[in-house]
Structure 1
């Protein structure tokens, strides 16, 4: 079914959580030399939400024991929320960031927002509705129970923060294709109109150094031939670009950058937990970390379907659960 390509003037846009979490962790790794209280004061600027561990649906440890080094794998849910407070609305960007110290990788795994999944107490619905129904608790539970994961932590960012986050790093480099120019310019114009910005349009394909509004526009594109599948690739491209930019922030600027960024975050992580993650990433050797991207469900195991007049992405639940677990816990690429 073809989607309406008209750009509405005041929509609640599809949002993307970016590398703000990764940037924060990396920055705090450097900030730790300033002392606990300096770090704590900065971290406390983030909005905190307590999770109920008994409601997170973490996969049974007996199932995880098939993976010898599963205790060395850290998974954190990253949500991009279509509201301005990061506590409600649908999670239209759903990425699991995996710190894999065994293989020295940072894995960014996107889950398709239209995936037809079982949401506890609500039955089958789109994956991105879980956050709207029950916030981070239910969204994490839905990822864990459907895909065999052990997520207990999350970071959420609302769409309004994206341009500010990107601009705080001085922009990022993105490769824009010819078939993307029409749509990115529609979105840039729309963002300029709503936010009162004046970001320039893209006139030629190729590598561009984009500002925050342009990066947000790029992450929204979904009407090229690849549809929503390609959109998740664009989101990961923005996330990777921001991660790489964070690696090169001068040490003298860490305090200012992290203090500015953390205000856009909603998370359950406290200072001690973030410092532990910073230490873990530091032990992996920052510049030697491989950033790897993947998307589930994968081609060949999913298809679009109309159910009661609504479009869903249906998929082979058993095969996909196995593929996700093998990839995240055993570094085995899906077949």
Structure 2
């Protein structure tokens, strides 16, 4: 049977952060394009030893650097996809001389905060990619201090591909803090208004992408493709240099007193508090304001709402600060890909 590059090859299911996952239809060609650009953008060579930490069923587990490493003749090491243990991670890196890895921000924070990080030889690491949500400034600083010879690259992508649509090189980690970076070499990325026009710097719009790596559509569903452009449903703004700053899903935006609040920005600031491990913010109905922000905050140390509000006032406008806080020691509900399942966060807050 003849097989062509345009034949359907893969149904890559989305994370399902807002509900039921959808099957993104990929061809041999889209998968190859998604892999090949990573060789160039991330300097993958035949000496690469890539450690797969995310589950292979997640787009990033199978399609971020793993296939690119194999194409270049490097080596891929698989680790258990559940029950992440920092000590096991350190031992694997040292024993296998791992050169690159992808760690979501919450896992990266655990790695850098572990007291045993200095007991292992991690000198082989040249590259850590992190994405799925913004990397806190404190985490970037910890990575630079503890792993000075390893570049931390922040990435943004989708199961719809490219899985590393945007990336922020380590050289811009400070100057462009909070940014997801600029388009990869295999994609055009724009931020547009509701009429499809490019937004001015600083103005929030929707991220759209055109790439030979992008899916054909969703299996059995209408595809969010217009003229070859994928509508991501993610909100963002660009700066004068073309760096993209993701605000979050359009469905997650909170309108309080007529003002727009983007949870990703608020979550990023909350997560920088030294007593906080992670946080999720959702909008809840309010008779006076229409909606208000409600935050589920996972803490490592004792923290009160008043203490957190005082901290946030130094970084955020008052209207952006959540009106309700729920503190917990239980990790946030996440998908296999590590993304927060906001609808379950909302259920937790309603029950609590």
| TM-score normalised by structure 2 residue count | 0.25
| TM-score normalised by structure 1 residue count | 0.26
Query: Which of structures 1 and 2 has the larger relative contact order (alpha carbons within 8 angstroms, sep 6+)?
Result: 1
Q: Which has the higher helix share?
A: 1
Which of the two has higher C-alpha Rg?
2
Q: Which has the higher strand share?
A: 2
